[in-house]
Chain A
Amino acid sequence: MIRVTNLHKRFGDFVAVEDVGFEARPGEIFGLLGPNGAGKTTTLRMIATILKPTRGEITVAGFDALKEPEQVRRHLGVLSEHTGLYDRLTAEENVRYFARLRDLPEDEIQRRMDEIFPRLGIDEYAHKRAGTLSKGMKQKVALAIALIHDPPVLLFDEPTSGLDVMSSRSVRSFLESFRGTDKTVLLSTHLMPEAERLCDRIGIVHKGRIVALGTVEELRSLSGKRELEDVFVELVEGGGEL
């Protein structure tokens, strides 16, 4: 579970996130949908404890992100569009390194890799240096790293950005497989169809604020629009709340 209340982040004078609050529950995929520069990445980074909020509270899997950041990190898996790999290590060595940093026992690491690699098709290139892999292959390895410790909470920041159709599909289908399990998934995206297809509930973010929040159905009925895209455009262009 993720609970965010009254979250603010300032970079100097610039307000990147302003009074953001939402709750993502186990079994659901919660989406943050917003245009470039809306503050999605900043919000996710604060939840992941790598940026300090200027103000506000964050609870992840029952732990306070400010008071127990180490516990939060233990219960978190993160994948972003910028996630990279160590080019001179093989795919498997990359996964092992991060798994060991998470204090997983060796047999557990092997067991998890045997489970995840075939599902993502990584076993075909597990022993190749990451530097020789395509972007899609790399992103799957990064996904394996985010999942290796079987975390209850997952943060995905534009995970399909820059991927081809096939790679996007396999990342998305992995995401979908978490619906209805005990996992909490937070997905940030600027792609309308992705949000519509994957998310149970969506918070629309604009200029650092959540301007609308609800299920896709609720958002549609709130605005009286049929398509989520129209809801989105109205909010972003109008600059107001519903």
Chain B
Amino acid sequence: MRGRHVALVWQKELLDTIRDRRTLTMMIVVPLLLTPVLVLGPSVLRQSQEESQQQQLQSVAVVNGQEAPELLAFLRDSGLLRVVSVPNPEEALKEGRVQAVLLVPEGFAERLAREDEPPEVVLKFDISRSKSRTAHEKLAQLLRAYRERVVIERLQRRGLSPQLVQPFAVRSEVIEVEQRVSGFLLSMLLPLFLVLWAAVGGSQTAIDVTAGEKERGTLESLLVTPPRRSSFVVGKFLTITTVTLGATALSLAGFALSLALGKRFLPESEFFGRLGFALEPGVLLLLLGVMTLISAMMSALTFTLYLWTRNFKEAQTYASYLSFAVMFPAFYVAFTDPPTSLPAMLIPVYNVTVVIKELILGDVRWDHIGATLLSSGAYLVLSLALAVRVFQNERVLFRQ
């Protein structure tokens, strides 16, 4: 291996990559534009839906309303629902013209006044419609409030204190947990993003410098030049790593952009609104180190894998298998409380995802970091050695 040849190969492959529109799209458009859409999209949708539902008054059809004039007035005065009367309430509910139906039994007011046998009102709603669910919730809440009012009236009529049924008061307060809430949400999304980018960010380039050389018929021309095979392997490997790191950096930028946009335009959202997230420089440095290592490891691995394939198409099939293989542990770590025993922390990709998650939560576990760095380093060296061997294997290079 010669430094000059490695640099030459690296330089050429990088130029070749930069001129490839497909790779550029993967590297720039997807992370910088798609990431904000992916991160912001659900919140924007949810918020606009919630807003419109809050503002919009749901209609409730009351059957036998004349039997409970006081309750009817209570519902109307709340201003939370629109009380309507329609000829065929159940039909209207099915068709979505009203969002809930309230059935008042015969003699409701009288029975309430007699205080003997409690009458029963029936609430009907359509669980498949979110508007109907909201109407049901509001209606149930209003009915509970009305019931409490009736109880208090009865107590007062008997000269008893309302405190009898309100032995204590409850008040909910939200405490300021900026770091933890946002850190928690980020700790689910970010490791996924970072690890996925490390796996797929450089795949186009990896395919191009391996299967691409075979398909174009440039591989033989390379092989008949004097440099050692290891120079080509290392040069190509460095190219893939560079592109992967570039793609990861851009996707991080896209992520940061999404968060900034979210905080600016969606302050109501509980995710973005309370975001006050910042990584300490030391932790950031560790994060970068871990990212570099996994990018390098994946680059060496994909190089070997794609070199073995015969053409672009075959390589692309393997690329999609690979991203699935990586997605599985990444999702697992992101959405569960993953085991962190020593053997588990030796599993490639998995361990890195765990460490990234911990680092984002501000939880610096040196034993985990150590196990991850050492094992990933070992996998990197092994993959590179394998790559050099494969690049010397004529059965792989001239597969028929």
Contact = CB atoms under 8 A, between A and B. Distances in A.
Contacts of B227: 101
Given A51-B394, A84-B216, A101-B5, A74 B226 contact: yes
Interface SS majority for chain B:
helix
B220 A102 contact: no
A172 B60 CA distance: 91
B245 to A, nearest CB: 21
Contacts of A82: 217, 220
B172 interface: no
A201 to B, nearest CB: 24
Contacts of A45: 220, 398
A101 B220 contact: no
7 contacts: A48-B220, A50-B220, A85-B218, A88-B20, A98-B225, A101-B8, A103-B4
Interface string A31-65: 00000000000000100111110000000000000
A83 B221 contact: yes
A48 to B, nearest CB: 5
A73 interface: yes
Contacts of B157: none
A73 B218 contact: no
B224 A50 contact: yes
B223 interface: yes
Contacts of A89: 12, 15-16, 19
Interface string B358-400: 0000000000000000000000000000000000001001100
Interface in A1-59: 45, 48-52
Contacts, number: 69
Interface of A: 45, 48-52, 70, 73-74, 76, 78, 80, 82-89, 93, 97-98, 100-103, 142, 145
A78 B224 contact: yes
B20 A70 contact: no
Contacts of B15: 89, 93
A84 B218 contact: yes
B246 to A, nearest CB: 17
A79 B313 CA distance: 26
Contacts of B398: 45, 51
B222 interface: yes
Given A51-B394, A86-B16, A88-B19, A102 B225 contact: yes
Contacts of A97: 8, 12
B239 to A, nearest CB: 13
Residue of B5, B224, B228 with most chain A CB atoms under a 10 A cut-off:
B224
Nearest to A71: B226
Contacts of B222: 101
B396 to A, nearest CB: 12
Contact of B226 (A70, A80, A85, A142): A70
A100 B235 CA distance: 14
A86 B394 contact: no
Given A49-B224, A97-B12, A84 B19 contact: no
B224 A73 contact: yes
Nearest to A87: B216
A45 B221 CA distance: 11
A93 to B, nearest CB: 8
A78 B225 CA distance: 10
B224 A76 contact: yes
Contacts of A48: 220, 223-224
A137 to B, nearest CB: 15
A103 B226 contact: yes
A84 B217 contact: yes
A145 B225 CA distance: 11
A100 B9 CA distance: 10
A119 B62 CA distance: 96
A50 B223 contact: yes
A185 B227 CA distance: 23
Interface in B8-37: 8-9, 12, 15-16, 19-20
A155 to B, nearest CB: 8
A103 B220 CA distance: 18
A51 B224 CA distance: 11
Given A48-B224, A89-B12, 7 more contacts: A50-B223, A50-B224, A52-B394, A82-B217, A85-B216, A86-B216, A86-B218
A78 B226 CA distance: 13
A83 to B, nearest CB: 6
Contact of B394 (A50, A70, A142): A50
A93 B11 CA distance: 12
The 5 closest A-B pairs by CB, nearest first: A84-B217, A84-B216, A88-B19, A101-B225, A82-B217
A83 B8 contact: no
Contacts of B8: 97, 100-101
B224 A88 contact: no
Given A73-B226, A74-B226, A102-B226, A83 B220 contact: yes
A24 B159 CA distance: 124
A73 B222 CA distance: 10
Contacts of A73: 224-226
A98 B92 CA distance: 78
A70 B225 CA distance: 8
A88 B15 CA distance: 9
A51 B398 CA distance: 9
Residue of A74, A78, A97, A103 with most chain B CB atoms under a 10 A cut-off:
A97
